């Protein structure tokens, strides 16, 4: 869907009337919708009212929502027909003044058909803009307080590396707008560029190609899984992407082979980057005006500090080529967590946010991710980062996707297992893959077992769901 920017003002007044409060008096507002005009405009309306938007996955069930509802204490809940949970069952955790059901994704504007003005009391730099709940990779989800200052500053940082053309961009949004990456790289980017935003309800490879052609899309933000699926679409080709000048990839590492095959078939470059809810979310990107490095998430965005520090105490800067934890500092870093998370003290130290991501910075300043600290596999005291193993597996043309992970072992503590999926039209010889790993990795990094799967478990935004990976029960010499 698409709409004129002027009509967004109607939604601001509509939400204020429903909430029956003045700008600045509103607390958090839960937004639980699939991609739609309602969700896009509601986000800006909440911002304009100096309230705090709380985007949530509409697929969450009652158990997953209870904690976040109690933690956020929203004054209003907006949801559409895609919501899976029974909100009546959540009343013990809900203290909202109003619950608004929008229908099919374009119903809120009907609340106020006439034109209206924006509030006089617009947001200040230090006002809370968004409460973004993390995926809970270290336990319970944590509510990240994001300020208007942080959003505005990070837009300028991203613009320095990935400049847009005022009034000339058509951004195709296929990622879910409850995710911080989609909001930053689709919603905010299109508004800053004064361009057009085209929103798909959900990602579908064929419909994405149709939308590029129909709307003349110029920019396509996505995740690696999106580009992986587009490669499997027979219609993919330069004639379908003639207007597309750039794709942006984030949220997870982009396999080099996916990047190379996509660019070869389309002629459109993919600029890979890195970020997270707590910082940015744009922390690094391969810049448009400098050389890109496949396999790297690029250079740190200007206007902030990013360092790779030792994994023991987090205070010593590592030399180029040596792995360490990424830490960041600057105006683009979050205001803090909504409530004191048990591990918040480990993340926020002396003005630095320690990301938990392990990376190597090369001599030219480009970042190369190696994985999450807690994903590290300890094989008899030797550290193995899954991403390194996965990159070796993905260097084989017959491998479409790969996931390496640790499995308990009586002797070594942990050993490496891996699941792989075949590339389109390819067969997997698991013995050959094992030999390939042995030729390119130290012995303790070589997967003890490799299994073939039809698909890997993914989260709602296409990230690999490592906690859903099962041990490979037995090697299967040849699988399809």
Helix residue ranges, H only, 20-61 = 37-48
Which sign does the torsion angle of CA 242, 248, 251, 256 carry? Answer: positive
Report the pLDDT value the prediction gives residue 196, as an integer from 0 to 100: 95
237 vs 268, higher pLDDT:
268
Query: What's the rounded mean pLDDT across residues 205-219?
Result: 94
What percent of the chain clears pLDDT 90, i.e. is strictly above it? 49
222-231, 280-289, 341-350, range with greatest mean pLDDT: 280-289
- Three-class SS of residue 4? coil
pLDDT band per the 50, 70, 90 thresholds, residue 458: confident
Tokens of 403: 């996931």
Residue 166 banded pLDDT, cuts 50, 70, 90: very high
pLDDT digit string, tens, across residues 248-273:
999 878 888 889 999 999 999 999 99
Domains along the chain with CATH numbers: 5-361 (3.40.50.12780), 376-479 (3.30.300.30)
pLDDT at 477: 41
pLDDT tier, 340 (very low <50, low <70, confident <90, very high otherwise) = low
- 225: number of CA atoms within 13 Å, CB side? 18
> What is the per-residue pLDDT for 253?
82
Does residue 121 or residue 439 have the better pLDDT?
439
Task: Judge if the upstream peptide bond of residue 281 is cis by omega within 30 degrees of 0.
Answer: yes
pLDDT at 4 over 60: no
Residues 356-381: tens digit of each pLDDT = 999 999 999 999 998 888 888 989 87
Per-residue pLDDT, 342:
57
Question: From start to end of 33-92, where are the E strands?
Answer: 52-55, 76-79
The predicted structure's pLDDT at residue 85: 65
Q: Is the pLDDT of residue 136 over 70?
A: no
Name every residue whose Cβ is closer than 8 Å to that of residue 233 and which is 6 or more positions away in sequence: 205, 206, 209
What's the longest Cα–Cα distance across the chain? 72
Does pLDDT of 138 surpass 50? no
- Mean pLDDT of the chain, nearest integer: 84
The pTM is what? 0.82
Instruction: Determine the average pLDDT of the residues in 171-186.
Output: 93
């Amino acid at each position: 869907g698409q709409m004129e920017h002027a009509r967004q003002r109607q939604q601001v007044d509509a939400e204020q009337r429903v909430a029956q409060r003045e700008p600045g008096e509103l607390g958090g507002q839960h937004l639980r919708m699939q991609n739609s005009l309602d969700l896009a405009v509601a986000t800006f309306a909440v911002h304009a009212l100096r309230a705090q938007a709380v985007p949530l996955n509409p697929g969450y069930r009652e158990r997953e929502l209870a904690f976040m509802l109690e933690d956020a204490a929203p004054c209003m809940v907006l949801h559409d027909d895609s919501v899976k949970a029974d909100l009546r069952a959540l009343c013990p955790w809900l203290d909202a003044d109003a619950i608004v059901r929008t229908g099919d994704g374009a119903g809120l504007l009907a609340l106020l058909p006439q034109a209206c003005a924006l509030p006089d009391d617009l947001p200040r730099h230090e006002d809370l803009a968004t409460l973004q709940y993390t995926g809970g990779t270290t336990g319970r989800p944590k509510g990240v307080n994001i300020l208007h200052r942080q959003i505005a500053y990070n837009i300028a940082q991203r613009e320095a590396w990935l400049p847009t053309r005022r009034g000339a961009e058509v951004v195709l949004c296929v990622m879910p707008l409850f995710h911080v990456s989609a909001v930053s790289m689709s919603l905010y980017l299109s508004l800053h560029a004064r361009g057009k935003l085209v929103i798909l309800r959900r990602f579908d490879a064929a419909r994405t190609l149709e939308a590029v052609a129909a709307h003349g899309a110029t920019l396509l933000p996505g995740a690696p899984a999106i580009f992986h699926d587009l490669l499997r679409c027979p219609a993919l080709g330069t004639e379908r992407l003639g207007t597309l000048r750039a794709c942006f990839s984030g949220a997870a590492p982009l396999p080099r082979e996916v990047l190379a095959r996509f660019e070869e078939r389309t002629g459109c470059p993919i600029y890979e980057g890195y970020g997270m809810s707590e910082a940015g979310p744009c922390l690094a990107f391969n810049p448009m005006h400098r050389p890109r490095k496949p396999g790297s998430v690029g250079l740190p965005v200007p206007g902030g500090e990013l360092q790779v520090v030792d994994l023991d105490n987090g205070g010593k800067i590592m030399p180029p080529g040596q792995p360490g934890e990424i830490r960041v500092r600057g105006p683009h870093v979050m205001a803090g967590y909504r409530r004191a998370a048990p591990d918040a003290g480990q993340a926020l130290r002396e003005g630095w946010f320690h990301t938990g991501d392990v990376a190597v910075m090369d001599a030219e300043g480009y970042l190369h991710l190696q994985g999450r600290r807690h994903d590290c596999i300890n094989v008899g005291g030797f550290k193995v980062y899954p991403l390194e193993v996965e990159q070796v597996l993905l260097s084989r043309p017959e491998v479409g996707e790969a996931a390496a992970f640790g499995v308990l072992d009586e002797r070594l503590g942990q050993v490496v297992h891996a699941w792989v999926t075949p590339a389109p039209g390819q067969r997997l010889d698991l013995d050959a893959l094992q030999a390939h790993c042995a030729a390119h990795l130290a012995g303790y990094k070589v997967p003890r077992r490799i299994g073939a799967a039809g698909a890997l478990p993914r989260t709602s935004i296409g990230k690999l769901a490592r906690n859903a990976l099962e041990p490979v029960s037995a090697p299967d010499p040849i699988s399809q």
